[in-house]
Amino acid sequence: MSLFQFKLVTEILGRSEPDIARRQGIQVGMYSGEMENNDGRFSRLNVGDENPQMLTDGDGRRWIICLKQEFRNMLAANQHLACSLGLDYVGFPCQAHRYVLADAFLYGLADCLQGEAAAEAQTWLSALGEHLPEDVRRKLATPWKRGGELFCERHRSERNSCCAAVTVSRASFIILYSVQQLLK
């Protein structure tokens, strides 16, 4: 396994299994300085966990939120990575049940908060992760970014109008923006 592959596997496992990773000393992304003080707004979800920002299943594994249009590619990519590296680890996210579609997560979150998500959310989420012509991109600009440059110059002419980091950021903002009134 090359250093790049090792870092990739560490990143995936560190994000998808934060409790297990923390016990093993792996710290990545937002889990590098684990949040100890809970925001009271999250307790409205009635999850019963000590730390609701770290929701996991009974095995300490997080669900991976992905776009509906990216689900098959993400699952296949992780299966290919695990197979090519000979990973024989049950926790590596190669099973469909480890994934939650972003729109299902959004509507489930809104339901837990006893309200409805913004009506445009489905349209915004469905436009992410695909190559879109300039005129369509402008129509789908989300309210907080209407005046800015939304799309990655590097990936603009290729299959996807945004790189993965931009897509994840935009999906997160769409979800939060869509339930902002319910969190107040």
Best CA proximity match to 172, nearest among 65, 16, 55: 65
**pLDDT by 10-residue block (mean), the chain, 184 residues:** 78 75 65 50 48 68 87 89 82 87 92 90 81 66 51 52 68 87 82
Best CA proximity match to 162, nearest among 172, 150, 174: 150
Check residue 50 and give its pLDDT: 54
Q: How many residues does the chain have?
A: 184
Check residue 102 and give its pLDDT: 92
Check residue 116 and give its pLDDT: 92
The H or E element that residue 100 is part of is strand 99-101
Confirm if 69 and 129 have CB atoms less than 8 A apart.
yes
28 class by beta-carbon count within 10 Å (0-12 exposed, 13-18 middle, 19+ buried) = middle
How far apart CA 79 and CA 86 sit, in angstroms, is: 10
Check residue 36 and give its pLDDT: 43
Check residue 117 and give its pLDDT: 92
Q: What is the pLDDT of residues 107-120, one digit of tens each?
A: 999 998 899 999 88
pTM above 0.85, yes or no: no
171 class by beta-carbon count within 10 Å (0-12 exposed, 13-18 middle, 19+ buried) = buried
Check residue 103 and give its pLDDT: 92
